[in-house]
């Protein structure tokens, strides 16, 4: 691996060696020249006994280990033993964190806009763990062992995990477009249930869709969420739409983008109150803005005017995202923090990492001037996509992902839309349980 990529990885993983980078940079990592491919074939590698606590249980391994791309361990496909000393750990970490597989897939097929099901050639285990963090922790442990020094003495203490709480404000009232979109989604799920030969679930989805279409609803709930977080000593990021709002827009925009205006009550008062009390207010850009710096800039300026403060954070609406275009457009618009990097249809670590990092620019061969925080889980993963019997099962599933972030002392974002405290959804209790879990560690 060339020096700029190694330097980038050392910087991205700096939280694991804040006092001293040199012992890690000097590790005798096996360096290979195999070229990565789009479709990721993973290989399980057992860690040495002295580092087994940093691995996970994987079928076929006598000791806990890590999954690495096959190209980082040449010879495995020809029957060679996957020994940890033969792994190019820098290449493995780079492949994951740079999103090389997805970037290559996009060059050939176009953006997947954050739907994992479109990556049919991928081994989904790549998203199941924070592999890059575990590689970083392993390198830290290995370097301390070679130096015959205590890890904390050599590198400094491990950092506290950071669970970044966030809310995308898609709707503050139950408008006609909201009724149509969510009812259609319930209809889609009813069809999916029928395809699974589950008529009972299909009928339940149809009934829910009709109830949603015809029933009343209040979706503001911003102050309620703020108060809940404040009770637990926590705060969060609220992302607001910065477009013109209202019905005086093209039909597809009315249907796909929020209806409210940030310069009108009640949203104006809500976002100003959030800012005054120390919450972060970010941008939730329009559906079609994912590659449009001018649109992003206009929305950012509208939100800043209402907030009377700079806006630097964002998450793209519907997670519309392109590796080649979205971050570049955000940077050109003056945004510096993005948390779009996740999936619509499943929880997980999209780059195999729980890190806030500067993404790699594959075209320029250097890091981008922006910080990306991965979106690891959101409410719809457990209520719309997952098959869970009750809220306790949903909470357990959510905490599985939170536990991985905590275990690796990493960083990851969780999104819970404020409207789901309404009777139409009833999804708020799981988030409230999450707050109780996080309060002791100070998310």
Backbone φ, ψ for residue 313 (5° rounding): -100, 150
pLDDT at 186: 66
pLDDT at 80: 57
pLDDT at 196: 78
pLDDT at 193: 76
Domains of the chain: 3-155 (no CATH), 162-174+216-441 (3.20.20.370)
Backbone φ, ψ for residue 199 (5° rounding): -65, -30
Q: Residue 76 — pLDDT band, cuts 50, 70, 90?
A: low
* Phi-psi domain of 255 (left: phi exceeds 0; alpha: psi -120 through 50; beta: other): alpha
- Do the beta carbons of residue 240 and residue 283 sit within 8 Å? yes
DSSP, residue by residue, 2-65: -HHHHHHHHHHTGGG-SS--HHHHTS------PPP-SS--EEEEEPPGGGGGGSB--TT-SS-E
Q: Residue 262 — pLDDT band, cuts 50, 70, 90?
A: very high
User: How does the average pLDDT of the chain come out, rounded?
Assistant: 93
Does 272 have pLDDT greater than 90? Answer: yes
pLDDT in tens, 191-200: 877 887 888 7
Is pTM, for the whole model, over 0.85? Answer: yes
Cα distances from 343 to residues 118, 377, 400, 440, in angstroms, run 11, 8, 17, 28
DSSP state at residue 173: B
pLDDT at 188: 73
Of the listed ranges 16-30, 184-198, 290-304, the least confidently predicted one is: 184-198
Q: Residue 81 — pLDDT band, cuts 50, 70, 90?
A: low
pLDDT at 37: 58
pLDDT at 352: 99
pLDDT at 38: 52
pLDDT in tens, 4-16: 999 999 999 999 9
CA distance 429 to 166: 16
H or E stretch including 414? strand 411-415
pLDDT in tens, 203-254: 877 876 676 666 657 899 999 999 999 999 999 999 999 999 999 999 999 9
Secondary structure of 290-325 in the HEC alphabet?
CCCHHHHHHHHHHHHHHHCCCCCEECCHHHCCCCCC
pLDDT at 418: 98
Q: Tell me the three state secondary structure of residue 442.
A: coil
Q: What is the mean pLDDT of residues 370-382?
A: 99
pLDDT in tens, 140-159: 999 999 999 999 999 999 99
């Amino acid at each position: 691996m060339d020096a700029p990529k190694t330097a980038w990885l050392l910087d991205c993983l700096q939280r694991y060696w804040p006092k001293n980078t040199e012992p890690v940079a000097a590790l005798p990592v096996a360096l290979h020249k195999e070229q990565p491919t789009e479709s990721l074939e993973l290989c399980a590698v057992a860690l040495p006994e002295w580092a087994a606590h940093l691995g996970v249980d994987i079928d076929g391994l006598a000791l806990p280990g890590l999954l690495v791309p096959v190209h980082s361990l040449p010879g495995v496909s020809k029957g060679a033993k996957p020994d940890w000393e033969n792994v190019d750990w820098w290449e493995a970490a780079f492949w994951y964190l740079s999103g090389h597989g997805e970037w290559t897939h996009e060059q050939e097929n176009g953006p997947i806009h954050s739907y994992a099901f479109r990556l049919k050639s991928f081994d989904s285990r790549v998203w199941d763990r924070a592999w890059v963090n575990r590689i970083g922790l392993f390198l830290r442990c290995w370097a301390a062992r070679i130096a015959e020094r205590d890890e904390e003495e050599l590198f400094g203490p491990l950092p506290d995990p950071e669970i970044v709480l966030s809310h995308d404000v898609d709707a503050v009232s139950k408008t006609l477009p909201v009724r149509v979109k969510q009812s259609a989604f319930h209809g889609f799920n009813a069809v999916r249930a029928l395809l699974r030969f589950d008529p009972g679930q299909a009928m339940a989805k149809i009934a829910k869709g009709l109830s949603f279409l015809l029933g009343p609803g209040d979706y503001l709930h911003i102050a309620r969420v703020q108060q809940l977080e404040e009770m637990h000593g926590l705060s969060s990021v609220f992302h607001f739409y910065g477009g013109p709002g209202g019905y005086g827009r093209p039909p597809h925009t009315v249907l796909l983008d929020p209806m409210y205006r940030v310069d009108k009550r009640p949203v104006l008062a809500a976002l100003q109150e959030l800012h005054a009390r120390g919450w972060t207010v970010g941008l939730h850009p329009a559906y079609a803005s994912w590659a449009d710096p001018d649109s992003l800039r206009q929305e950012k300026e509208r939100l800043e005017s209402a907030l009377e403060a700079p806006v630097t954070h964002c998450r793209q609406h519907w997670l519309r995202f392109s590796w080649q275009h979205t971050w570049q457009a955000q940077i050109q618009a003056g945004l510096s923090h993005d948390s779009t990097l996740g999936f619509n249809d499943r929880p997980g670590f999209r780059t195999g990492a729980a890190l806030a990092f500067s993404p790699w620019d594959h075209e320029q061969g250097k890091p981008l001037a922006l910080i990306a925080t991965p979106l690891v889980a959101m409410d719809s993963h457990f209520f719309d996509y997952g098959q869970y019997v009750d809220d306790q099962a949903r909470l357990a599933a959510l905490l599985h992902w939170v536990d991985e972030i905590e275990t690796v002392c990493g960083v990851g974002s969780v999104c819970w839309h404020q409207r789901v405290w309404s009777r139409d959804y009833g999804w708020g209790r799981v988030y409230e349980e999450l707050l109780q879990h996080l309060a002791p560690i100070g998310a």
